[in-house]
Amino acid sequence: MIAELQYDEAEQLALDTIPVIDFGPFLTGGAVERAAVAAEIDRACRQIGFFYLVNHGVPEALRQSVLNESRAFFARSFEEKMQVAPILDGQWCGYLPARGAAEGTKPGGSLTEEGRAKKTVSGGTLEQFNMMRVRYADDPRYGDPDPIYQDNRWPAGAPRFVQTMMVNQRALLSLSQELMRAFAIALGLDEEYFVALHRSPLATFGLNFYPKPIEEAPSGNVGVGAHCDASSFTVLLTDDVGGLEVQTRDGRWISAPVVPGAYVINIGDTMMGWTNGQFVSTLHRVVSRKPVDRFSATMFMNPDREVTVAPIEAFVDEANPPRYAPFANDDYMRGFFVKFYDSMFK
């Protein structure tokens, strides 16, 4: 039950625990500069699976517009928000009232049999508005009627909301391609290795609202319980309130402060599977420890539907046997959507 979920205060973050990485030299520099940035990303992904990304090329005006449109949407009445809720079987786009969300119970939880067998999710106060990647005419899956490619449920009377979210998608998808090239260089792979696996990605985008805690609900400060992401990687935009907490490799919980102008990037279970555990998918949670509302926006990058995820041969040998069984991303994503969204209103 939500009322039973409480977390002790997290430690304050040491300055170098989650590094701040300047992405500008990767975007504009030559091979030497790109390799240096990739090496920084490599260290972060192996040590904690999180890093801050600055000088990423996404205009601050766009980032703030996303947060402002999010505030405006969640300020609508419950009845208005429910008009775009995924209330039919097979839907998962649109407004989701508070229910908590977690893909696993430990790093890599959703890649393990134990994690996949669990039917419960962690409690929390989070409200969401979820979107699928908009497909355009040049997309390999444009017009594909398969329900795994959802039609977005846009709120009525909000043209600026729709325009902002579509522009934001294009910006983050472009940034993600560069991040995938950086991951590949860091791992000694062909620069286009991961890009080729995300040609028509099952990327999802979310707006997140964490209401301020209230005295009548002592555990209402838990926005999202401890979980790992079931993605290749996640791109997170936060407001200036803070609340993200990350578990270190030795089991300590640390508070991740807000870094102005930065995205928070974290490795998901799928990337950890590809790298056979060299890049780590780390437990994290959101706890509202301030008496104010909190807003954030996410992009979960997931590979193409037809991709089979398995440890890459370069990371497997006698001393490092495969740690994760291969799985079809099509089945994985369908199971994820059904588990967390189809049952919401039953």
Distance in angstroms (rounded) separating the CA atoms of residues 112 and 291: 37
Q: What is the pLDDT of residues 167-220, one digit of tens each?
A: 999 999 999 999 999 999 999 999 999 999 999 999 999 999 988 876 655 445
Residue ranges per domain, the chain?
2-342
Strand partners, 224: 286
Mean pLDDT of 238-246: 91
Distance in angstroms (rounded) separating the CA atoms of residues 169 and 133: 7
Query: What does CATH list as the number for 2-342?
Result: 2.60.120.330
Mean pLDDT of 81-109: 67
Mean pLDDT rounded to a whole number for the chain: 85
Are 212 and 204 contacting, i.e. CB atoms less than 8 angstroms apart? no
Please determine, for residue 238, whether its predicted confidence score (pLDDT) is greater than 50: yes
Distance in angstroms (rounded) separating the CA atoms of residues 36 and 17: 19
pTM for the model: 0.88
HSE of 94, CA atoms in CB hemisphere, 13 A: 22
Residue matched to tokens 């039950």:
1
Strand partners, 235: 265, 299
